[in-house]
């Protein structure tokens, strides 16, 4: 094994060190995240409020903010062993190219057929659906990573799946929808004329509307609540998903301990918050308990800047306004982002947990980048490290490179850790656009955002 300073390039934890519990970061927070609100009663949601939409066990996990660790069921754990633990990699080649004194590590979640971290929660949600005896599940997907992962998990547990895929991504990424179909999932471009919510959105925004995750959520929820023994599952934003994704950070922390390392800077891309929340979970626990003080950076696209330019208020999680209200950084549930290539980061709001941590100053910084700068970083990284990263992941790569360059300028030997959420092999049209010089940057104006903010409901909470 190639080494420098007696540290290997790649650390795969032994199988027996795969975490057997998820970490519930809410149990360690000094101030709890504001509760989900039932828009009909304006009272905090109960399990019974959520059961028409979610599996019962997932509804319980969603509202549990006191249990610090939750056991991973054996069937889920056995599934994890097919592709976990995922590697923690020292980016020696990138360090050398940048000529930086910084040490750069990344946790690579692309070593499975779905190509991303999404499988960590997909298998959990499919398992609970099977345990409840459901006849099917519905979901939304942006770039297609979540839909791909869930189709794999549903195929494993023999559960029918309907996926509403954001229309912009449906057209940009035909191979992802083919993978979903190969695993048995039914894929519908959203907004569609198959639901009342979809028809209303098409009427308001036009038949060529590129859609958004908020639109697709509305359709998937409607499909679930009108079906027979069908529930809705989701790939980001809510507490249950961040809980399942904590396995990323737990593995990373254990692997870094084997190096006798601890990160000074932790960076994750941020769309709905699932990867970021899971990546930072054990390190944020350490910070909340006063054991360490790493610097956390959330990175989002400039075209959909919920943390950097949004408002911290209660808002609907979907465009059709059928979901509970969540207090989060939001651009407004009717905000339709531009059809850029980071489809998985095109959500109008941010996880309530991530939002609260950012609002209270524990998540130190949020920054946004235009997509041409992101693809410049992705190309640079791929030539150094030999992995073609997903556009979403490349936001974190851009920030990591920027931080490493700062270390070169100051001479500081900081340890930088970021999440590489997945591969970009289904995103070749985006790379082709970048290389051809046809990729453009879109940043919403203040006027654009004000129009979206005007549609945020004011319930006085």
**Per-residue pLDDT tens over the stretch 225-242:** 999 999 999 998 999 999
Query: Rounded to two decimals, what is the model's pTM?
Result: 0.93
Among 114-123, 154-163, 166-175, 373-382, the minimum mean pLDDT is found in 166-175
d(Cα 396, Cα 268) in Å, to the nearest integer?
Answer: 5
153 neighbors 183 (Cβ within 8 angstroms): no
Confidence of residue 4 (pLDDT cuts 50, 70, 90): very low
Average pLDDT over residues 371-385: 97
Beta strands in 128-264 (DSSP E): 136-141, 161-166, 186-190, 230-232
Share of the chain above pLDDT 90, in %: 79
| In the chain, where the domains are located | 3-18+85-115+240-453
DSSP 51: T
Is residue 255 classed as helix, strand or coil in its secondary structure? helix
Q: Per DSSP, what are the bridge partners of residue 415?
A: 103
Q: What is the mean pLDDT of the chain?
A: 93
Three-class secondary structure assignment of 368-396: EECHHHHHHHHHHHHHHHCCCECHHHHHH
For residue 2, the model assigns a pLDDT of 34
Residue 161, pLDDT > 70, answer yes
Give the neighbor-by-neighbor strand order of the sheet with 161-166: 186-190, 161-166, 136-141, 230-232
* Between 82 and 4, the higher pLDDT residue: 82
Peptide bond into 144 cis (omega under 30): no
Residue 116, pLDDT > 90, answer yes
Half-sphere exposure of 40 (CA within 13 A, CB side): 6
Q: Per DSSP, what are the bridge partners of residue 68?
A: none
127 neighbors 133 (Cβ within 8 angstroms): no
d(Cα 372, Cα 441) in Å, to the nearest integer?
Answer: 7
Listed residue (424, 413, 374, 418) closest to 395, CA to CA: 374
106 neighbors 87 (Cβ within 8 angstroms): no
Residue 5, pLDDT > 70, answer no
Confidence of residue 340 (pLDDT cuts 50, 70, 90): low
- The alpha helices in 306-370, defined as continuous H runs, are 306-309, 352-359
CATH number for the segment(s) 3-18+85-115+240-453: 3.40.50.1100
**Per-residue pLDDT tens over the stretch 210-223:** 888 788 989 999 99
Among 5-19, 232-246, 289-303, the minimum mean pLDDT is found in 5-19
For residue 398, the model assigns a pLDDT of 98
Residue 71, pLDDT > 70, answer yes
Average pLDDT over residues 15-30: 95
For residue 175, the model assigns a pLDDT of 87
Name the token pair of 192: 């569609």
């Amino acid at each position: 094994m190639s080494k420098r300073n007696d540290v290997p390039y790649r650390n795969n934890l032994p199988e027996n060190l795969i975490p057997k519990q998820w970490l519930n970061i809410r149990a360690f927070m000094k101030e709890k995240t504001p509760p989900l609100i039932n828009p009909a009663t304006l009272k905090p949601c109960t399990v019974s409020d959520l059961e028409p939409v979610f599996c019962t066990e997932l509804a319980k996990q969603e509202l549990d903010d006191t249990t610090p660790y939750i056991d991973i069921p054996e069937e889920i754990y056995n599934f994890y062993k097919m592709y976990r633990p995922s590697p923690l990699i020292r980016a020696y080649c990138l360090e050398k190219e940048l000529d930086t004194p910084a040490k750069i590590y990344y946790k690579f979640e692309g070593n499975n057929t779905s190509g991303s971290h999404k499988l960590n929660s997909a298998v959990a949600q499919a398992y609970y659906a099977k345990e409840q005896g459901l006849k099917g599940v519905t979901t939304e997907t942006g770039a297609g990573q979540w839909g791909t992962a869930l189709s794999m998990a549903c195929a494993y547990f023999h559960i029918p799946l309907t996926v509403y895929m954001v229309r912009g991504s449906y057209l940009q990424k035909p191979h992802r929808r083919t993978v979903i179909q190969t695993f048995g999932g039914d894929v519908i471009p959203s907004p569609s004329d198959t639901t009342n919510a979809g028809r209303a959105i098409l009427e308001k925004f036009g038949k060529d509307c590129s859609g958004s995750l908020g639109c697709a959520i509305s359709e998937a929820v409607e499909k679930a609540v009108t079906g027979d023994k069908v529930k809705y599952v989701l790939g980001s934003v809510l507490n249950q998903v961040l809980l399942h994704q904590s396995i990323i950070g737990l593995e990373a922390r254990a692997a870094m301990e084997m190096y006798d390392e601890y990160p000074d800077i932790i960076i994750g891309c941020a769309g709905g918050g699932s990867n970021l929340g899971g990546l930072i979970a054990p390190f944020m626990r350490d910070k909340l308990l006063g054991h360490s003080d790493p610097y956390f950076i959330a990175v989002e696209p400039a075209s959909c800047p919920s943390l950097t330019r949004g408002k911290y208020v209660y808002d609907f999680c979907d465009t059709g306004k059928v979901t509970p209200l969540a207090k989060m950084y939001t651009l407004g549930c009717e905000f339709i982002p531009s059809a850029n290539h980071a489809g998985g980061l095109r959500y109008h709001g941010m996880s309530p947990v991530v939002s609260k941590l950012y609002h209270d100053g524990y998540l130190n910084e949020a920054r946004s980048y235009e997509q041409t700068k992101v693809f410049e970083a992705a190309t640079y990284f791929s030539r150094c490290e030999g992995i073609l990263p997903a556009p979403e992941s490349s936001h974190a790569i851009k920030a990591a490179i920027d931080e490493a360059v700062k270390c070169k300028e100051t001479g500081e030997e900081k340890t930088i850790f970021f999440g590489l959420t997945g591969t970009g092999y289904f995103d070749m049209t985006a790379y082709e656009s970048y290389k051809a010089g046809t990729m453009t940057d879109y940043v919403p104006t203040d006027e654009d955002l004000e129009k979206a903010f005007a549609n945020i409901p004011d319930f006085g909470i």
